[in-house]
């Protein structure tokens, strides 16, 4: 399928800054959160808009650990793809880049955010959208 994912050049420093500011662990944690957050917003990104790959490089094992199949599954469901589709790595990369940009803008508008409060807020928003 793929062996590595690289963020865009402009997100090289963003992932470092968010990792430092949020203090949630290694940079791969912020990348996972960014991917999930971008997907949760329901946006369908176009492959024509893919950014450069001059940023932070993650091997699939470092980025996803034992949870690769779940993240691939999220992308497959979102785009109605089969798990072997050749474009899955591109969608993962684009959603990581998109999520990093969104999180960075939110941090700029509220510099007092901390990692756990940020995550709890996003989880609460997601839970409130669930209709029972």
Establish how many alpha carbons lie within 13 A of residue 59's alpha carbon, considering only the half-sphere containing its beta carbon. Answer: 4
Q: What's the domain count of the chain? A: 1
At 41-54, the pLDDT tens digits run 999 999 999 999 99
Stretches where the chain sits below pLDDT 70 are: 131-132
| Full-model pTM | 0.91
Which CATH number does the domain housing residue 14 bear?
A: 1.10.1220
> Three-state SS for 119?
helix
Structural domain that includes position 80? 4-128
């Amino acid at each position: 399928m793929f062996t590595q994912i690289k963020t865009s050049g402009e997100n090289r420093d963003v992932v470092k800054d968010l990792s430092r500011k949020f203090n949630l662990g290694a940079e791969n944690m912020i990348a996972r959160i960014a991917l999930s957050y971008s997907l949760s917003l329901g946006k369908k990104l176009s492959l024509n808009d893919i950014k450069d790959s001059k940023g932070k490089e993650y091997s699939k094992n470092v980025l996803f650990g034992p949870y690769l199949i779940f993240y691939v599954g999220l992308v497959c469901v979102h785009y109605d793809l089969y798990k072997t589709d050749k474009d899955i790595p591109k969608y993962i990369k684009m959603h990581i880049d998109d999520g990093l940009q969104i999180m960075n803008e939110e941090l700029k508008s509220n510099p007092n955010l901390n990692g756990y409060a940020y995550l709890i807020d996003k989880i609460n928003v997601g839970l409130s959208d669930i209709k029972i």
